[in-house]
Structure 1
Amino acid sequence: MQKATKMAQPFVRQYNPDTDYESMLEVFHECIGDNLKFEPAWTISAYCWCIPYLLLSPSTCFVLDDSNGKAVGYILGVPDTTVFIKRWRQYYIPKLDEAKMPRPDIADDDDEAWALNWEDDPVGSLLKVLWGPERVMGLKGVDELIRNHSGHLHIDILPDFQRRGYGGKLMTALLIKLQDLNAIGCHIVLPAANTDACRFYGRYGFHVYEGSMNDGGTGEPGMLKDGSICLVQKF
């Protein structure tokens, strides 16, 4: 009797800028929240949470390959958030099309006006992320957090490939890479209500940040005013 042919399985590999860019964007747009699935939020959101990683730190981006060369998931990360923000300002912002993605007309020192309001003004909030990355990724006012957990990451997987162990493989690949690059730790901010995600990160050594989030927080360790929570891991 002829043996059944074993079907190729999805696998994790390094991001390839020459072949993966478009499918990475497809994964991103499939996975973003419904509150951003309209224009111009649909376009701007990719310029906030996907494209800068692909352009500025491709060596720390990993793909879940469907076994036919197409990305069906990814993990994007950086070993040093402070350096990444500097590169964002130096190399990324100057290339933005300000006619399509205008800089918010807000003074740099007006912290209240730079606050994000996803419910009432999602497009305005995206533009604030795009033009003021240090206020979001740098978690302004939380220097100790960034100093001790310098890296950060984003992960997205298409629904058909979720809950099959691929998220863990992506996490393992990135965390090894960040340690190889001498990152001393990593942080991630996500909705506190997303308990499944919190448990997932917990399996890979992440726990709630024990410090105060300062003016961005609620007084509870790791909690931000918008209902997000900061998880950390020290290598």
Structure 2
Amino acid sequence: MAFIRPYKPSDFEGMSHICRETLNPALRPSVAGRRLAPYCWTHQYTHLSPTTCFVLDDGSGRPVGYCIGCPDIPAFVAAYDSYTKEVLDVSPEITRPEDLELKEPLFYEDGSINEVFLSRLAYNPQLLLIDGNADLLAEYKATMHIDLLDEFQGKGWGKQLINSFVESIRNVPQKDGSVSKGIWIGVAGDNGKVLPFYEKQGFKLKGRPVEGKTFFLVREF
């Protein structure tokens, strides 16, 4: 029987599989996108904030879903070197880009993925979480990701995973002494079908910049 438990290091490959199988449709056809996605949106949270990462176990030890994140994004970014050195730099699946600061489109005009920029997102938490999000970060310091394999969706597990995550971060103090109002998440503009799910979990739409084509949602503690 499936159950929710804390993340453990032996879940690493299972987490990669979940991330790849639940990718945004725009990224799924890309070999590079599937290879790099877990390093952009999954493994840094389990490495740097494992106590706030939760797994849906199918009952045999296999992860089939997760809710992962961190309670303090600025502190998370400050600790990011550990992730680059201990996970990214030693992985055969990802190569360190030469210019980590360069901003480029994620997709080329022909629709193919910009693999170098995707690698840059994995290596540069400023691009991933900070740039353009100052207004959100002023109030909402926590962020999260949730993914479930298809056969475990629509059964209430998403709600339980999010509740586990929220309880794990609710009273975590911010290192700069500030108080976080709650969580913010970003949803790709072409993945708007998931918005009703988040709204049912207490998230509210905060904004959608035209240029970024991203929905931003927040949930207060």
Q: TM-score range by the shorter chain?
A: 0.7 to 0.9
- 2:35 matches 1:47: no
- 2:97 matches 1:104: yes
224-233 or 53-62, larger mean C-alpha shift: 224-233
- Report the equivalent of 2:64: 72
Deviation, structure 1 residue 75: 0.7
- The CA deviation string for residues 43-64 of structure 1, in whole angstroms up to 9 with x for no partner, is 2222111111111111111011
Task: List runs of 5+ in structure 1 lacking aligned partners.
Answer: 1-7, 210-220
SS at match of 1:230: strand
2 CA distance for matches of 1:66 and 1:198?
A: 26
- Report the equivalent of 2:23: 32
Q: Structure 1 pair 81/92, CA: closer, same or farther in 2 (3 Å)?
A: same
TM-score (structure 1 length as normaliser)? 0.79
Deviation, structure 1 residue 79: 0.2
2 CA distance for matches of 1:100 and 1:165?
A: 34
Superposition misfits of 4+ residues, deviation over 4 angstroms: none
- The CA deviation string for residues 59-88 of structure 1, in whole angstroms up to 9 with x for no partner, is 111011112222110011100111111111
Contact 1:60 1:78 in 2 (8 A): yes
Aligned 1:12-161 pairs, distance under 5 A: 12-17=4-9, 19-33=10-24, 35-88=27-80, 90-95=81-86, 96-97=88-89, 101-106=94-99, 108=101, 113-118=102-107, 119-138=111-130, 140-161=131-152
Identity %: 28
Q: Structure 1 pair 55/121, CA: closer, same or farther in 2 (3 Å)?
A: same
2 CA distance for matches of 1:21 and 1:94?
A: 17
1 CA distance for matches of 2:4 and 2:171?
A: 18
- Report the equivalent of 1:189: 186
- 2:214 matches 1:234: no
One-letter amino acid matched to 1:195: G
TM-score (structure 2 length as normaliser)? 0.83
Contact 1:13 1:63 in 2 (8 A): yes
The alignment covers a number of residue pairs equal to 209
2 CA distance for matches of 1:43 and 1:173?
A: 28
2 CA distance for matches of 1:185 and 1:224?
A: 24
Contact 1:148 1:234 in 2 (8 A): no
Q: Structure 1 pair 193/39, CA: closer, same or farther in 2 (3 Å)?
A: closer
| RMSD after superposition | 2.3
Q: Structure 1 pair 66/107, CA: closer, same or farther in 2 (3 Å)?
A: closer
SS at match of 1:27: helix
Task: List runs of 5+ in structure 2 lacking aligned partners.
Answer: 174-179
